[in-house]
Amino acid sequence: MAGLGVAAPIWWPDVAQAGEEHPYEGPYYVVFNASGGWDTTYLMDPKGVGEINRLYKEGDILTKGNHKFAPTAAHIQAGMSNEAFFTEFGSELLVVNGIDYSVNNHSPGARYMATGKLDSLAYPTFAALVAACKGPGCPLSFLTFGNYSNTGNLVAMSRIPYLPSLQKIANADSIEGQMRSPYHDDFVVDRIERALKEQTDAELSKMVLPRIERAESMLYAAQLNSKALQRVTPYIPKEIPKARLSQQAEIALASFKAGVCVSANLSIGQFDSHANNDADQMKLLPEFLEGITYLVRRAEELNIRDKLVIIVQSEMGRTPTYNKGNGKDHWSIGSIMFMGAGIRGNRVIGATDEKQFSVPIDAGTLQLDKESGVRVRPEHLHTALREFAGIDAHSMSKQFPLVVPEKEKLQGLWG
Amino acid sequence: MNRLLLALVVAVIPCLCGAAVDDYFQGEVWSKVGAQSCLECHKSGGDAESSKFLLQDPAREKTPGSAVSYNLAAFTKMAVARKGGQSRLLVKAIGGLGHGGEEVLKPDSTAYRILEEFVRRSDAQVTTANPARDAPSFFANIAMLDNRRLLRRVTLSLAARLPMSEELVVVEKQGLPAFGPILDALMKEEAFYQRLAEAFNDIFLVRGYDDGAESALSYEHFSMTRHWTEKHDLNQIADEKERQKARYKLADDYREALLREPLELINYIVRNERPFTEIVTADYIMVSPYTSRGYGNHEELRERFINPDDPFEYIPVRLDSLKNRTGRDHQQSETGFYPHAGMLSIFQYLRRYPTTETNRNRLRTRMFYQQFLGVDILELAARVQDAAAVTAKYEIPTMQAAECVVCHRTLDPVAGLFQDYYSLEGVYGPRKEGWFKDMFSPGFEGEELPASQRWRALQWLGERTAQDPRFATTMVEHVYYIVTGRKTLLPPKAIDDPLFEARQRAYQAQHREVERIAARFTETNFNLKAVFKEWIISAFYRADGNSTTAANPERRAELADIGLARMLIPEQLERKVNAIFGKPWGHLNDPEYALLYGGIDSKEVTERAADPSGAMGAIQRTLANDVACKNVPSDFAMEASKRKLFPGIEPDVLPGESPESDERIRETIIHLHELILGRYESIESPEVERTYSLFAGILSDAEERFGIETVENYSCRGAGEERVKDSHYTVRAWRGVVTYLLRQRDFLYE
């Protein structure tokens, strides 16, 4: 095998249109990643049979509407229990169980779940793709806090590690970010911007190499579009929440509210519970659910809850048995959850059997069909997601096609 | 028929009428089928190594072209062999005749049709030809960077300074041949080694481990010494607060010295022009006065240090084999020394990539293959029809299930070589129960580790790694990454892509260059400086523009990765500001700011941003505003002969006053373009005219504005300086000009 290469650049922003974007008003896409591989049998796909779970039995499984979930309230020290989570969001949640990740390793699993494509390093994540299609001029169009975040060279990825960082970049033309102390008089700024536009146009009119053409355009767009970051300032909270996901959520929400961001990739790690599965999962799953809840409640306060589309996922599941210690190893079957604008909740699609193997489904009816159904894989979900977001026909999506036969397309997944 | 249409036709009906068999073999059979679908198993060490259809990996060939010839013969033999009247090659590919890999190709796939055509050609014994003979040069019609600008790129990139005037003279006189001696001298400068260490950390990420730098020194073996700073005698400092402050500094320096150690190995090898294979074979580590105290051997080394109180003076040292604090379970060693194997056995490296009970050193092995042999075992993992069922079906899937064996046969033997470092913190400590039996036994690429080598397993691995042809190409690819900021291309996979041929040509052209430089690297006894020198003068580094419009989509695809256009990393940007203005901006040295500007922390964030986001665009604006603010008034405040930016002009020179004043303004603009952008403009250049218009336009606007202050901005004065008088607004106008220049690609990119 040759070197570890990357895809060549294929897209760049139109300089003529840079800076003319209006605030992006939604939908806002949020992907929550349980990095390391979650144990779905302690969340939305409870089993309690055989040796799958030590903390509860089949008879302990709880329900809320059409959802079944593992009881966790008695086992957690902090965070949000399944009981509380499904009570608050069950009517909005769409769960898909029995997803076949096809691989057992973190890196390809994360890539596959994020992009819908297993055998390519070039494909963008859904979050990056939707940002590129819907908000190419937004200065923080695609925010990421970790996990697989490839952009396919369609859009720049933004990392804002801390809330105060937002303040640092909000007013770039003012001394120490103070609006009352501009570096230059306004007419100087206008002159500089006009000269830069002319200079960029002149560079692009030359016969330059595609990479240089792209770099010139990306640079110009990044600087000009960054002016819109001024709009973020009013939405930066004075209090910084302590929890990891809550901090990420605040950065994403301030950016959404300011109209400078389309999608955000939120992530916490350490789910890889080889050593002590139950203790680890009972610590991390409640933290994860609490983070999701924080985002939704804060979005409510900011009046943008009805514009959120939330995807909750991990790159793999955990084995149906414990290993020689108290851990569980990698398992290539798992689940995903969706909620938000346009998604009908209180539904569970797909399943795993008593040994935690995937049960195929009929793509047309979404009912279980062991004999001739489809094994739901990430490309099925991503094909549906692209359609749902209205970007399946976008030229950028077509540059990264997902091959799903017509008869395997999940009909009516969103309800 | 144009090239695009031809490519489309080829994708549907793979018939290159008139093309010869090995032309067809290389361009179609090997690149689209053999390399992608057969080689992984049908090679030495692969799952099908015992089959009669054995192929050679071109990445491991020692004689150029030998693998292709060998593989052509193997494919031809299979193609003409018949079973039931059908070619064995075709039957096996679709899973017949008990093919161990089962169905590899679908009968209706493009890849299968390529094999069908190959069988037809083999039966007809079509004669051979060389496909590359008539191909136009890959760089036809591509303009190369002017040598002066190339020199500036190199000195800034590798030595954090502007070119010296004498270097410019030599380059102008001699052209490209001048770069060899200039680079020889440049690669002796200390700044080069700062960049080298920084760049190799981007690759090895070896600074990025948790729990404090001293955690690389295991409690079991260094419990008495690894926290030496806590008890170090500082009684010569009377004041308690000052003493505590000194102790904090001692600890900080010690930790930093430990973090630098692995990268100092690289610096030592390169500085002394030792074979770079020592990165996997060096029988020593680099130790400083501070870190030697952590190892407990400071006193015996003390005399060897020039300054035994310098935390960052490093010397090569062989450690004794490790002695356990309990008095038993000491490390076995036939020599009495720790079996050093370059980076492979460095404590910090092992700590950075630890193992777990179930991971069993496989992460380490994956990183070993990726970092030293250029093979990413997992990134292109094959899809398994039902991985969960396979896991459940076999007792030991990694040794029994073909889908798993394909990778684990390569991965697990090397994991076994790291078995002495099984302590879950990543430090030395063999597994109490002995190494796992349910894994392929320790070895490397089909060769088992002899029992006699067990105690020095990593040295045994390092020796084989150094001899592997993939080591040289991987190091050449690392240097390409260092100088361009990009990884080398992967071979294209999508054989139905209409632009496959173009992408393949781009990959092959680059790969040929990698192999050429790797051959040079080997000839020079693995002197890494030779690799830098070769890349710097390579067309891949110098390509700068099209001399014809590349509207043809195939040509655009070929050129998609050509041209440097590399956004400077935060550290480089700071150094560039320092080189031009004489002092850094400073903010990008703050780790949080650096992360915002696409930097890495070597732990969670390990890949540098390649494109500027809006957040980074904002930082660029701030930097341009602030650097201009901090430097323009200060420059004018100095006497003219000491100025960097404005040595030939005063604030009272106004545009339009006289031809002489206009000329002085334009000369100043030319000077600024050269200093900040590295552009050599003539006085009639449109770029000079644009900058002149900006300067004149600002002054014109200011004149019309009522009530403007006659002094520069309060915040733009230097420390201890008065506000600079600016009655004509020219200082602020020049500040606007410098801000404008600092926001351009020629400043922010390499």
Residue A5, pLDDT > 80, answer no
As a whole number of angstroms, the distance between CA B66 and CA B61 comes to 7
Residue B9, pLDDT > 90, answer no
Residue B407, pLDDT > 90, answer no
CATH code, domain with A138: 3.40.720.10
Q: Measure CB to CB from residue B378 to each of A107, A210, A229 and give the nearest one.
A: A107
Q: Report which of A33, A12, A9 is spatially closest to residue A265, judged by C-alpha positions.
A: A33
pLDDT, residue A147, reads 84
Cβ pair A332, B387 in contact under 8 A: yes
Pairing of strands A94-100, A347-349: parallel
Higher pLDDT, B609 or B157: B157
pTM metric for this prediction: 0.88
Please write the tens of the pLDDT for every residue from B10-31: 333 333 333 444 778 888 888 8
The domain spans of chain B are 3-124, 205-324, 353-466, 467-535, 570-748
pLDDT, residue B4, reads 34
Please write the tens of the pLDDT for every residue from B271-327: 999 999 999 999 999 999 999 999 999 999 999 999 999 999 999 999 999 999 998
| CA angle B172–B177–B183, rounded 5-degree value | 95
pLDDT, residue B468, reads 95
| Residues paired with residue B643 on neighbouring β-strands, in sequence order | none
Give the confidence band of B549 by pLDDT, cuts at 50, 70, 90: low
Å between B102 CA and nearest CA of chain A = 18
The distance from CA B358 to its chain's CA centroid, rounded to whole angstroms, is 30
Per the domain annotation, does A328 fall within a domain?
Answer: yes
pLDDT, residue A137, reads 86
Chain A residues with CB-CB distance to B713 below 8 A: 175, 183
| Residues paired with residue A263 on neighbouring β-strands, in sequence order | A29, A142
**Reduced to 3 states, what is the DSSP secondary structure of residue B121?**
helix
Give the confidence band of B120 by pLDDT, cuts at 50, 70, 90: confident
Give the confidence band of A40 by pLDDT, cuts at 50, 70, 90: very high
Please write the tens of the pLDDT for every residue from B352-384: 998 877 789 998 999 999 999 999 887 655 666
As a whole number of angstroms, the distance between CA A383 and CA A401 comes to 9
| Range of weakest confidence among B61-70, B242-251, B418-427, B450-459 | B61-70
**What values do phi and psi take at A223, rounded to 5?**
-70, -45
Cβ pair B528, B514 in contact under 8 A: no
DSSP B138-181: TTTTEEEPPHHHHHHHHHHHHHSSPPPHHHHHHHHHH-GGGHHH
Contact call for A357 and B490, based on CB within 8 A = no
Q: Which helix (H) or strand (E) holds A314?
A: strand A308-314
Contact call for B612 and A156, based on CB within 8 A = yes
Residue B390, pLDDT > 90, answer no
Residues 6+ positions from A78 with CB-CB distance below 8 Å:
A283, A286, A287
Q: Measure CB to CB from residue A199 to each of B374, B563, B744 and give the nearest one.
A: B744
Residue A17 per-residue DSSP state: G
CA-nearest residue of chain B to A147? B604
Residues 168-207 of chain A with CB under 8 A from chain B are 168-170, 172-173, 175, 181, 183-185, 187-188, 191-192, 195-196, 198-199, 202-203, 206-207
Per the domain annotation, does A164 fall within a domain?
Answer: yes
Q: Which helix (H) or strand (E) holds B444?
A: strand B443-444
Residue A9, pLDDT > 80, answer no
Please write the tens of the pLDDT for every residue from B34-44: 888 888 888 87
Residue A329, pLDDT > 80, answer yes
| Separation in Å, CA B466 to CA B7, B201, B388, B474 | 40, 20, 38, 11
Residue A323, pLDDT > 70, answer yes
**Reduced to 3 states, what is the DSSP secondary structure of residue B557?**
helix
ipTM score of complex: 0.87
Question: Mean pLDDT, to the nearest integer, of B503-512?
Answer: 93
Rounded to the nearest 10 degrees, the angle between the axes of helix A126-134 and helix A378-389 is 20
As a whole number of angstroms, the distance between CA B490 and CA A2 comes to 6
Q: Measure CB to CB from residue A172 to each of B503, B618, B736 and give the nearest one.
A: B618
Contact call for B560 and A2, based on CB within 8 A = no
CA-nearest residue of chain A to B698? A188
Contact call for A3 and B474, based on CB within 8 A = yes
**Reduced to 3 states, what is the DSSP secondary structure of residue B629?**
helix
| Range of weakest confidence among A4-13, A62-71, B116-125 | A4-13
Å between B526 CA and nearest CA of chain A = 19
First to last CA, chain A: 45
Q: Count A/B contacts: CB-CB distance under 8 Å.
A: 310
Interface test with B, best of A1, A151, A206 (most B CBs within 10 A): A1
**What values do phi and psi take at B312, rounded to 5?**
-120, 25
As a whole number of angstroms, the distance between CA B489 and CA A8 comes to 8
The distance from CA A53 to its chain's CA centroid, rounded to whole angstroms, is 28
Question: Mean pLDDT, to the nearest integer, of A90-110?
Answer: 93
As a whole number of angstroms, the distance between CA B104 and CA B33 comes to 10
Residue A411 forms contact with B (CB below 8 Å)? no
As a whole number of angstroms, the distance between CA B67 and CA B60 comes to 9
Q: Measure CB to CB from residue B613 to each of A156, A211, A212 and give the nearest one.
A: A156
Total domain count, chain A: 1
| CA angle B205–B210–B211, rounded 5-degree value | 150
Chain A residues with CB-CB distance to B370 below 8 A: 4
Pairing of strands A28-34, A263-268: parallel
- Return the structure tokens found at B433: 């129960």
pLDDT, residue B136, reads 66
Residue B5, pLDDT > 70, answer no
Per the domain annotation, does A2 fall within a domain?
Answer: no
Residues 109-138 of chain A with CB under 8 A from chain B are 111, 118-121, 138
pLDDT, residue A2, reads 35
pLDDT, residue B13, reads 32
As a whole number of angstroms, the distance between CA A125 and CA B383 comes to 19
Q: Measure CB to CB from residue B614 to each of A107, A158, A181 and give the nearest one.
A: A158
Residue B645, pLDDT > 90, answer yes
As a whole number of angstroms, the distance between CA A264 and CA A125 comes to 11
| Percent of chain A topping pLDDT 70 | 95
Interface test with B, best of A12, A33, A119, A169 (most B CBs within 10 A): A169
Per the domain annotation, does A4 fall within a domain?
Answer: no
Any idea which residue has 């990539």 for tokens?
B353
Residue A9 forms contact with B (CB below 8 Å)? yes
Residue B577, pLDDT > 60, answer yes
Any idea which residue has 């018949």 for tokens?
B82
- Return the structure tokens found at B12: 């549907």
Cβ pair B162, B152 in contact under 8 A: yes
Q: Report which of B248, B254, B219 is spatially closest to residue B425, judged by C-alpha positions.
A: B219
Å between B686 CA and nearest CA of chain A = 9
Question: Mean pLDDT, to the nearest integer, of B460-488?
Answer: 97
Q: Which domain covers residue A332, as residue numbers? A: 15-408
pLDDT, residue B546, reads 74
Any idea which residue has 């094994």 for tokens?
A375
Residues 6+ positions from A101 with CB-CB distance below 8 Å:
A109, A112, A113, A315, A316, A317, A332, A333, A334, A377, A378, B387
Average pLDDT of chain B? 90
Please write the tens of the pLDDT for every residue from A54-74: 999 999 999 999 999 999 999
- Return the structure tokens found at B427: 């430090």
Average pLDDT of chain A? 92
Question: Mean pLDDT, to the nearest integer, of B2-9?
Answer: 33
Per the domain annotation, does A215 fall within a domain?
Answer: yes
Please write the tens of the pLDDT for every residue from B518-542: 999 999 999 999 999 999 999 999 9
Contact call for B374 and A1, based on CB within 8 A = yes
Per the domain annotation, does A5 fall within a domain?
Answer: no
Residue B329 per-residue DSSP state: S
Per the domain annotation, does A266 fall within a domain?
Answer: yes
Chain B residues with CB-CB distance to A121 below 8 A: 379-380, 490
Q: Where does residue B503 rank: exposed (0-12), middle (13-18), buried (19+ CB within 10 A)?
A: buried
- Return the structure tokens found at B470: 């993939």
**Reduced to 3 states, what is the DSSP secondary structure of residue A196?**
helix
* Residue B511 CB-half CA count within 13 A: 20
Å between A397 CA and nearest CA of chain B = 15
| Percent of chain B topping pLDDT 90 | 65
Number of C-beta neighbours around residue B499 at 10 A: 22
